[in-house]
Amino acid sequence: MVYTYPDNNILSKLFTPRKNRIQNILSCILKITMILVIGEILFDLFPTYKRIGGAPFNFAFHLKKLGLPVRFVSRVGNDIHGNQILDFLELNQFDTKDIQRDPEHATGTVAIDLDKDGNHTFSIISDTAYDHIAFDKNLEALCHRPWDLLYFGTLIQRTPNGAKLVQKLLSKKSRKAVGFCDINLRPDCYTRATIEASLKAADILKLNQEELEKISGDEKKDQTLGKQVSRLMTTHSLDLVILTLGEQGSKWFTKTTSKQRSATRNQPIIDTVGAGDAYAAMAVAGLLSGLPNTAAMELARKFAGNICGFKGALPDNNDIYQKFKGRLKR
């Protein structure tokens, strides 16, 4: 069974209302006030090259290039990598006041190894600048502005400071704003308490199959993916779960329905770094554009497939965004 959003009432009937937060998301991109993204920005260090990345930044970058109003908050070191990131952000018209400078901790880095199929493994450096994002005057000022959506993940919450910061932001989120949580369960970078707090605060959850199984734990035994997700949604009052399934594509779950799309196979895979972030960004762009969910899923599928054709998580030019911008219009 496929749930299709009514053209004249896009998100208000997608979800079961929960304190009116989902209902008040507007169906037109031009009416969106602000998307606030908090989290890591870092350098992905590949064997022979490096790229700027970090799941929250990748998400924010794609949305900004697609024309949505995004504010991205993070922290970098007072070092060469930090300078390069600030230059990149300024070049791409991000507000660099949202990026804090840390005099003591280095800019975040992740060592990435790729196998012959383009799959990757991560080695994440601990205690870096983004672990010390502060609730400064600039961030406080952002909290006094209206948001339509707050994006947060789990990697930033690997330290007590990061977990406390995210919870403070969530406490300042209006009842009309939507919480979008992107679970990223990297080894030694999360706790059960962090996961539970994130799920409790989320309206929309995005995760992959491996992450779903880790969250489900022993309860996943003899349960289908659908049953695992259903239990998760019921326990934590989630309105939408976006489950990515690698080569099998993805599946979206509301409280009563689900829909699956196969993966894109129309071009060679260079690497899969950032594919999930690209999928999440296009899914949000599609929803906020008022597209039917089948169209939003299809765009997210195609966009993530295109990103797999580049080295790193971000394309080197804006051509891909120009191609997809027109498809966001109903």
**Which domains can be identified in the chain, with CATH numbers?**
29-328 (3.40.1190.20)
Beta-sheet pairing, 50-53 with 42-45? antiparallel
Query: What pLDDT is stored for residue 32 in this prediction?
Result: 76
What's the CA gap between 104 and 10, in Å, rounded?
47
Q: Band of the pLDDT at 222, cuts 50, 70, 90?
A: low
Q: Band of the pLDDT at 263, cuts 50, 70, 90?
A: low
What's the CA gap between 94 and 16, in Å, rounded?
35
Answer positive or negative: Cα dihedral of 321, 324, 328, 330: positive
User: Virtual CA dihedral for 199, 23, 276, 91, nearest 10 degrees?
Assistant: -110
Strand order through the sheet with 240-244? 99-102, 70-77, 35-38, 149-153, 178-182, 204-208, 240-244, 250-253, 258-261
Question: Mean pLDDT, to the nearest integer, of 44-65?
Answer: 92
Query: What pLDDT is stored for residue 74 in this prediction?
Result: 98
pLDDT tens digit string along 270-292?
A: 777 788 999 999 999 998 888 88
pLDDT tens digit string along 156-197?
A: 999 999 999 999 999 999 888 899 999 988 877 888 899 999
**Cβ–Cβ under 8 Å, residues 67 and 325:** yes
Question: Mean pLDDT, to the nearest integer, of 131-147?
Answer: 95
Query: What pLDDT is stored for residue 265 in this prediction?
Result: 56
Q: Band of the pLDDT at 257, cuts 50, 70, 90?
A: confident
User: In 3-state terms, what secondary structure has residue 324?
Assistant: helix
**321 pLDDT more than 90:** yes
Q: Tell me the whole-structure pTM to 2 decimals.
A: 0.87
Name, in order, each residue with C-beta under 8 angstroms of 196's C-beta and a sequence gap of 6 or more.
none
